[in-house]
Structure 1
Amino acid sequence: MTLDWLRIERRDAPLVISIPHAGTELAGYEPRFVSPWTARRDADWHIPALYDFADSFGATIVRTAMSRSIIDVNRNPDGVSLYPGQATTELCPTTTFDGEPLYREGAAPNEAEIAERRALYYAPYHEALTSEIARLRQTHARVALYDAHSIRSVIPRLFDGELPVFNLGTNAGRSCSSALRDRLAATLAASGQSCAIDGRFKGGWITRDFGRPETGVEAVQLELACRAYMIEPAQPWPDNWPTAIDDIAAAPTRATLRELLNVLIDWTSRRNP
């Protein structure tokens, strides 16, 4: 069955790029949200365009066109928080990153509807990742899964101050080999821009669930501050957010992203027979 919201670009290098939060489709739920713009505000804006060079690496890309406000495919399917004690959003979010309500009064999804969304949108995304990794493992002993994200640089509810430009998550070193983590960290340090390794963003459910270096699957998450490739307003409003990609800011960022993917390809290729 073809799902028009699930986009899969199959290629043959030992690298899968997951883009779970760039979607903006609201699946007919628009009237229930406070506004369509509010429901889309926290998307990972322009991530597919930012990584438009990935095809030249032979990377497989899996992404959803569905908004994270419908269901967040990077959360624990059981709804358990990935960051206990810290502010975050749910499997089917009811608030924005800033803590504002997403839904009109009485319009938030109940447990039955959450289960329905999980079956309709969550399960197929994870099945696609599982399938593509398994396909590549038929010809590669090791495969890297790279989960690509972005977020506004300043969100006081979620983190203090200004977020570093590059935020690498490896589930505190459990989702990828330690030597690979070190190589990726060195690449980010060499960029000359601020970076953090397993800081505020240690990796979402995709990184944590799929990352099993002992079985040949290396998984990492890269959370990118939006100022790395676009001009961020002090306060996002419908008339100023999102802004377009700023080519001047994006050029060095893309160069670093290319280096990260190069490291992943080199790492997996050297360890494939």
Structure 2
Amino acid sequence: MQPVDVFRGDGPVVLGVPHAGTFVPDDIKARFNDTGLKLADTDWHVDRLYSDLLPGATMVKANFHRYVIDANRDPEGVSLYPGQNTTTLCPTTDFDGRPIYQSGMEPQTGEIEARRLAWHAPYHAALQAEMERVRAKHGVAILYDCHSIRSVVPFLFEGTLPDFNTGTNNGTTCASAIEAAVVACTQAAEGYTSILNGRFKGGWTTRHYGRPAEGFHAIQMELAQKTHLATEDTPFAYDEAKADRLRTHLKDILSALENLAPSLFQNNTQGANND
């Protein structure tokens, strides 16, 4: 199994999909307990949800499961949310805080580094290459990082998560016009709830690639899985009717981002000329 698939488009938007993969190497899977084998913390069907919404978009999809290594974590292991419950670069618990390995079978430092080189690094090499290719073509590249999570996860957050959770690390990872456009779309989505920079402010990917002054913009969307799954438990089935309704709004978001690209490039160029 190759670590990453790239579906290349000719537009300014790059879709990052770090957590929809379900592949686990046999030697790792053999050490999981029943909780780990369930793979409950997958971003179920997110690649399908965004597929073909924006014809020119590029998609970079990790094929490995986040329990192998989390492609949206700092490779140095630094916590994204200090003081809050979260999972690590190579998770040893699920989102409910329960162990995913048989006792004594957790990965140690050497194995974590080997996994980083085999899985995490190739995903980000591919994503970096696509961001640079897109910026070279359009003057800007807009990374839209695609995520989903169960609506209720007490270990990670209180209450029920809003449907749309937009993250820009408090406005630092993209131009304000991008943030405003996405928020306008989510707030206009009738029957859905939304929040900006709530529990999920953007993971390592968004924070790492979001350098607006250089023409690299990044924004994360964390969707509550009730918006597109029949049930947020086994078998985590895709609900066509729910998903089709949601896809209408996701298409609006991606189209808005694509339409912003020329003005973002112009603004960057003017800013450079004024320096």
Normalising to structure 2: TM-score of the pair? 0.92
Partner residue of 2:262?
269
Residues 104-153 of structure 1: per-residue CA shift (max 9 Å, x gap): 01100000000110111111111111111111122111110010000011
Where 1:223 maps in the other structure, the secondary structure is: strand
Residues 39-70 of structure 1: per-residue CA shift (max 9 Å, x gap): 5110000111111223x421111011100000
The answer to whether the Cα contact below 8 Å between 1:44 and 1:150 also exists between their aligned partners in 2 is yes
The answer to whether the Cα contact below 8 Å between 2:36 and 2:100 also exists between their aligned partners in 1 is no
**Number of aligned residues:** 264
Give the aligned CA root-mean-square deviation in angstroms. 1.4
Partner residue of 1:117?
115
Structure 1 position 30, deviation (Å): 1.1
How far apart, in 2, do the equivalents of 1:74 and 1:222 lie?
13
Matches within 5 A, 1:172-251: 172-192=170-190, 193-232=192-231, 236=233, 241-251=234-244
Matches within 5 A, 1:151-166: 151-166=149-164
The aligned amino acid for 2:222 is: E
The answer to whether the Cα contact below 8 Å between 2:3 and 2:122 also exists between their aligned partners in 1 is no
Partner residue of 1:53?
52
How far apart, in 1, do the equivalents of 2:130 and 2:68 lie?
24
The answer to whether the Cα contact below 8 Å between 1:45 and 1:242 also exists between their aligned partners in 2 is no
Structure 1 position 37, deviation (Å): 5.7
Where 2:123 maps in the other structure, the secondary structure is: helix
How far apart, in 1, do the equivalents of 2:138 and 2:152 lie?
40
How far apart, in 2, do the equivalents of 1:128 and 1:134 lie?
10
How far apart, in 1, do the equivalents of 2:14 and 2:218 lie?
9
Partner residue of 2:271?
none
Gaps of 5+ in 1: none
How far apart, in 2, do the equivalents of 1:265 and 1:162 lie?
31
Gaps of 5+ in 2: 267-275
The answer to whether the Cα contact below 8 Å between 1:170 and 1:203 also exists between their aligned partners in 2 is yes
The answer to whether the Cα contact below 8 Å between 2:206 and 2:219 also exists between their aligned partners in 1 is yes
The aligned amino acid for 2:148 is: S
The answer to whether the Cα contact below 8 Å between 1:149 and 1:222 also exists between their aligned partners in 2 is yes
Normalising to structure 1: TM-score of the pair? 0.93
Partner residue of 2:126?
128
Where 1:271 maps in the other structure, the secondary structure is: helix
Residues 60-111 of structure 1: per-residue CA shift (max 9 Å, x gap): 1101110000000100111111001110000000000001101001100000
The aligned amino acid for 2:52 is: F
How far apart, in 2, do the equivalents of 1:33 and 1:201 lie?
28
Partner residue of 1:11?
9
Identity across the alignment (%): 44
* Alignment counterpart, residue 142 of structure 1, candidates 134, 140, 143: 140
